[in-house]
A and B are shown apart, each in its own frame.
Chain A
Amino acid sequence: MASNGLVSPRRRSSDQFDGSDPSPCGSEEVHVLAVDDSLVDRKVIERLLKITSCKVTAVDSGLRALRYLGLDEEKTAGDFNGLKVDMIITDYCMPGMTGYELLKKIKESSALREIPVVIMSSENVLARIDRCMEEGAEDFIVKPVKLSDVKRLRDFMTRDVGDGTSSDGGGTTHKRKLRESFHESPPSSTVSCASSSAPAASTTRSRSPSPSPSPSVSSSKPVTATTDFDFMGFFSIRGKSNNGRHVEDSDQHLNCLKEETVA
């Protein structure tokens, strides 16, 4: 295959994915920093990422993540003590620094703001999703994370990484095509977000890479998503409505839980 960045993204579509294939990026593997306070979830996300040929560094807190990225109080940004990070995937609800706070810090940093940040959350709350997307999150995945979620991210990453001069049109087109392919999936695995029930949220939200906003995504509208492993319309269960209350971050430890409402 040609060197990374110059291969058509379509070649890396998930239907060609085989766990035993060598990294489609050639010699440059995608390096993902995974942040989650749950040991079980860290193990799972690590495996999910490795099986999709990513290098993984897993840390258990936002603070550790910032330290790894070279961005903490004592150092200046850009003082990397590890490998270059191509993507950050973080849990939303963590003690201390939430994933949202971590996202903000990364986007506020001139050295790090270009790194795509994906948020994972067990709660499918529209207000939360919107907040994260508005703050610059690349995507929002409802837990439990599935292989299809990670494959989709991987596809996005291999299009993005090493493609230093990717045209916005090309990137946007690819994303639109990805989303279109979701729509073409068999009905049993397609979930349409009921726009009638206001708080109903999609399982994932995607945002085109900066600087040009994707015309097909509006951060206030849910995006239809499907997965390969949507057993018996699993995701339709998660489309139930939530009242997305937006609460001020008063208690650092548990502010992420305050948003949540009674099921």
Chain B
Amino acid sequence: MDVGLMQMQRRLAEYTSALFKEGILDSQYVQLQELQDESNPDFVVEVVSLFFTDSEKLLNDLSRDLAQQNVDFRRVDAHVHQLKGSSSSIGAERVKNACIVFRNFCQEKNIPGCQRCLQQIKQEFLLVKSKLETLFKLEQQVVAAGGSIPTSGSLPTMQQPIL
């Protein structure tokens, strides 16, 4: 086997493994990978792209909601609920957890708390976005070099997702 390809695959494996170790991705991401096959080779990228677009809109909505004179907390909560749901569905664990914390502050109608949380969510979102974009690039390189993308659970050297 081409040594260059092997190195690329190893790099991909290590990068992916680190994402799970750091809690940026959880097992739901592996679920998505399991749904990808030759008939749907871009499934994960497609779903994740939807998540990115969806989330960016929700984060903008949240910024606007919290900037209102009279904050409508039910509206804020509804938006966070949506974001929590979609991040959970793709395995973006840290974003999801940040949403859970946010909702607590929302229940308390604590505006400064909510604003801090929103910043936290934005940070986590940008982090997972950047990491996944890098991951997809690495995958593309592997595929372009004639390799295939393993699912995270199938490499023996890969650390299993830790929850």
Contact = CB atoms under 8 A, between A and B. Distances in A.
Interface of A: 19, 38-41, 43-44, 47-48, 51, 93, 95, 122, 143-147, 229, 231-234, 237, 251, 253-254, 257, 260, 262-263
Contact of B35 (A48, A253, A260, A263): A48
A59 to B, nearest CB: 17
B133 interface: no
Given A229-B31, A231-B161, A232-B161, A41 B107 contact: no
B104 A144 contact: no
Nearest to A145: B89
B88 A147 contact: no
Contacts of B50: 39-40, 43
B54 interface: yes
Contacts of B74: 251, 253-254, 257
Contact of B89 (A95, A144, A251): A144
Nearest to B162: A232
Interface in B1-46: 26-28, 30-32, 34-35, 37, 40, 43, 46
12 contacts: A19-B37, A38-B82, A43-B47, A93-B85, A146-B28, A147-B31, A147-B35, A229-B27, A229-B31, A231-B30, A253-B74, A263-B100
A39 B83 CA distance: 11
Contacts, number: 91
A44 B88 CA distance: 12
B81 interface: yes
Interface in B98-117: 100, 103-104, 107
A40 B89 contact: yes
B65 interface: no
Given A39-B54, A47-B35, A251-B74, A263 B89 contact: no
Nearest to A123: B81
A253 B79 CA distance: 12
Contacts of B163: 231-234, 237
Contact of B78 (A38, A229, A254, A263): A254
Contacts of B27: 229, 231-232, 234
A122 B85 contact: yes
B88 A122 contact: yes
Given A146-B31, A254-B78, A38 B160 contact: no
Contacts of B107: 262
Nearest to A251: B74
A245 B90 CA distance: 29
Contacts of B162: 232
B94 interface: no
Closest 5 CB pairs of A and B: A231-B27, A40-B86, A144-B89, A144-B28, A47-B35
B128 to A, nearest CB: 14
Contacts of B43: 47
A147 B89 contact: no
